[in-house]
Structure 1
Amino acid sequence: MERDSERGGRLTRRDSVKYGGAVLGGGLLAGCAGETGAGTSPTAADTTEPTGESTTTGDGSYAVTMAPVGEVTFDWVPERWIAYDGGYADMGVALGQASGMTGIGGADRYYTDVYDELPGVSLERDRIEANPEVRTKEQFYELDNDVHLYDPGMLINWFDWDQSDVDEIAGNVAPFVGNLIFRRSDDWHDYRYYTLYQAFEKIAEVFQERERYEAFKQLHDEFIAEIRTRLPPADERPDVFLTFEGTTEPETFSPYRLTDEGTSKKQWRDLGVTDALAGTDIENLSTTNRGELDYETLLEIDPDVLLIRGHERKTASEFRDTVLAFMEDHAVASELAAVRNGRVYRGGYLNQGPIHNLFLTERAAKQLFPEEFGDVAGDDELFDRGRVADIVNGEV
């Protein structure tokens, strides 16, 4: 391709991957021995500190290893890239790579308004809007990226790709590096999962941005530690029911389990809240479980706090004036303790990266503990926006 000829005759990405990089063929999604399977408890791999930098060679190339693809060799740092979801897109932005993002796999769940609060941090939304659902081989060829931050298992199980399609794009366009981490309830995901910061570290290796990653991790660890010093005792924290229902007049709800170690529930785990579904046989929402609960079932659970996903384009006030107002006027919903006490809130992003997570944890702390952290619609800031912006802008 034309862009390859501009690279001064170096070995192209296509050649690098095809002959010396990622494991192609039938073993691509086989996973690695000893890695965490779907539905299992987190192992040491999920809870240990950073897993180390990428492997470099004498010729300047380097390798990054991440399940399910395995080892991928890069001969130069990727310039053009794409992510399937907002979590991996946010990782790229956090690492100072926003200018190279060419599109996304699902723009409807990528929330970029938080960047407006970070001085000097911006994203060319026109690119996202021009390529908001990149999921076909033709689109991958057309965009001609240097790396695809996609879990190929998701492409196979959600969008009817075959293994041969994955191999073709990895060999002819660019490698895949990514792992679906926002939940851990899909039967097909029988290879290792990663925590948010373990996955973030892998993406930092891809872009050779170790310093930015380390700065973010330090900021995050300090922030969470400070929040936890201000939490009430565990027996005084509310139990919460996390669900999805995107309509403004909800009648049924898709359940999430906080015991699922997916990254989409990270803020609730960090705040040490109790899952209202604990002790029930209600399963987590997944590819195969699409069950929904009605208000009568919710009354049996009767959580202290009800968190509803699917309304992230609304402000806190807009959510209260629509969803909560409907529930307050509903004959059965109005009997719920959470509704009576006005403790029904937006449930946070399904896909969150490191920048998202800071904002969502701040918001969750206010939702659950307003007496300590301030009203969710207030101006109290629990982390330093300027410091985040400095890291993104390379002032580490």
Structure 2
Amino acid sequence: MVRDFDALTDTTRRDYLKGGSGLLVGGLLAGCSSGNDSTATTTTDTTTSDTTDETTQGTTVAEFPYTVSMAPMGDVEFEKVPETIFTRLTHLAGMAFALGRGNDVNAMHAPGYYDALWNQFTPRLPGVELDWTGLYSSWNVTKEKLYSLDSDIHLADPASVLALDSWDMADIEEIATNISPWFGNHYSHRHTEPPEAYADSYEYYTLWEQFEKVAQVFRDEAKYEALEAVHDDVIDTIETDLPAEADRPSIVMGGFTDPSAPYVYNVDTPGFLTAHVRPFEPVDAFGDDVQSGSRVDMEALAEADPDIILIFGGLHPTYDMAEIRTTLKDDPVAQTITAVENDRIYPQGGRYQGPILNLFQLEMTAKQLYPDQFGEWPEYTDGAYPELPESEQFFDRQHVADVITGDFES
């Protein structure tokens, strides 16, 4: 049943989560934020000492409530670790997945599409399973649906929800007060401007900085630290063998569902959408001539003449990489492009990547861009992420799987 929206003192609302809505709006309009503080603050409630031996995910009750801070929300207080998780974008759903909470997600953008995409990677993670089929598709979320879902946390950026035509600041505060907190950051994707109401409180985070804060929300910092160590090792591998600037290829990265008129994205802009490409310091074939997310025609693509074409979603089961390659080779304009002539058209995963996809995409991009340094990417047409020889893997699959499932020593 949908809740009464005006019931601001609804006693049936779970009492153990506090969104700090006064902080959310008051701090926001005053231009205050403590988003740089990456430490979760804990407060001991001495009146509940008789239950301090109980635990929630390894944290004693005496360590509640606790506060996690991130822009644009500011300080957000939690009485207990959230269980049910609302999300919109998959970088945040992917963070829940990395913490072993993927199946606690109850909503996300295009769940059928992203369930299929994420499950192209899970076969390489022994014992890890994920099912996002049938979830609420939350891109154009409504208040009514949020009341119906009654989630323990809205792992979503309130600024991005405010940008929807049907929402205002009173709605944002109402949900944080009546149901549960907002916690997310969207505009770090390309360091774009948030709605004006959030302009003074907004800060930008890397994918892994945001993941650290989400891990603090779920009191699972050990998993973050273990995965961050893997990420550090991957980045060290890349930086150690990165070719000289003169030897780096020019790249076009885009969506090629219509190969004759693809959407293209800059590969060198800040933000977590390029977190799997930017470490390689490639040359953007379009430079500043095309804005990220623009549609181009085949003549413009031929004029840019990239050495490599990276196709977002190319690993998705609905993509036919063989057909895309054939279409480009048969096109009289496209066949003149260096990437097409040299068969350097490669699949990618998703732009809104979580930490686990980021590890895989760093590995695949390394091999696609620099096979002489990092080993060749196998020719891919369909199916799950290729099973690479162990000696050519950038990270231990079993270890990452054990971190996700919690079967590891911190």
Q: TM-score, normalised by structure 2?
A: 0.80
1:130/1:314 Cα in 2 relative to 1: closer, same or farther (>3 Å)?
A: closer
The structural deviation recorded for 1:151 is 0.8
Find the counterpart in structure 2 of residue 297 from structure 1: 300
Find the counterpart in structure 1 of residue 23 from structure 2: 23
Give the 5 Å matches for 1:1-396. Answer: 13=14, 17=18, 20=20, 23-25=23-25, 28=28, 32=32, 52-59=38-45, 60-107=64-111, 108-109=113-114, 111-113=117-119, 114-125=121-132, 128-133=133-138, 135-158=141-164, 160-180=166-186, 181-186=188-193, 188=195, 190=199, 191-247=202-258, 250-278=259-287, 280-285=288-293, 291-314=294-317, 318-319=320-321, 321-372=322-373, 373-377=375-379, 379-380=388-389, 381-394=393-406, 395-396=408-409
Letter in 1 for 2:372: E
Letter in 2 for 1:133: S
Aligned pairs, number: 361
Is the CA contact (8 Å cut-off) linking 2:34 and 2:69 kept in structure 1?
Answer: no
1:199/1:344 Cα in 2 relative to 1: closer, same or farther (>3 Å)?
A: same
Partner SS, residue 63 of structure 1: strand
Give the Cα–Cα distance (whole angstroms) in 1 for the partners of residues 32 and 206 of structure 2: 17
- For structure 1, list consecutive stretches of 5 or more residues without a partner in the other structure: 2-9, 36-44, 46-50, 286-290
Partner SS, residue 23 of structure 2: coil
Is the CA contact (8 Å cut-off) linking 2:249 and 2:283 kept in structure 1?
Answer: yes
Give the Cα–Cα distance (whole angstroms) in 2 for the partners of residues 239 and 177 of structure 1: 37
Give the Cα–Cα distance (whole angstroms) in 2 for the partners of residues 259 and 105 of structure 1: 26
Give the Cα–Cα distance (whole angstroms) in 2 for the partners of residues 305 and 162 of structure 1: 44
Partner SS, residue 267 of structure 1: coil
Is the CA contact (8 Å cut-off) linking 1:32 and 1:67 kept in structure 2?
Answer: no
Partner SS, residue 199 of structure 1: helix
Partner SS, residue 311 of structure 2: strand
- For structure 2, list consecutive stretches of 5 or more residues without a partner in the other structure: 2-10, 46-63, 380-385
The structural deviation recorded for 1:300 is 2.2
Give the Cα–Cα distance (whole angstroms) in 1 for the partners of residues 240 and 234 of structure 2: 10
- CA offset digits 1:165-209 (Å, max 9, x no partner): 211111111110000132223564742111011100110110011
1:26/1:331 Cα in 2 relative to 1: closer, same or farther (>3 Å)?
A: farther
Give the Cα–Cα distance (whole angstroms) in 1 for the partners of residues 102 and 254 of structure 2: 31
Find the counterpart in structure 2 of residue 41 from structure 1: none
What is the identity percentage for the equivalent residue pairs of Structure 1 and Structure 2?
A: 35
Letter in 1 for 2:298: Y
The structural deviation recorded for 1:261 is 1.1
Give the Cα–Cα distance (whole angstroms) in 2 for the partners of residues 183 and 109 of structure 1: 20
Is the CA contact (8 Å cut-off) linking 1:152 and 1:176 kept in structure 2?
Answer: yes
Give the Cα–Cα distance (whole angstroms) in 2 for the partners of residues 216 and 165 of structure 1: 36
Give the Cα–Cα distance (whole angstroms) in 1 for the partners of residues 77 and 365 of structure 2: 39
Query: Greater CA deviation, 251-260 or 385-394?
Result: 251-260
Letter in 1 for 2:92: Y
Letter in 2 for 1:53: T
Give the Cα–Cα distance (whole angstroms) in 2 for the partners of residues 341 and 112 of structure 1: 29
Give the Cα–Cα distance (whole angstroms) in 2 for the partners of residues 382 and 70 of structure 1: 36
Find the counterpart in structure 1 of residue 50 from structure 2: none
Letter in 2 for 1:311: G
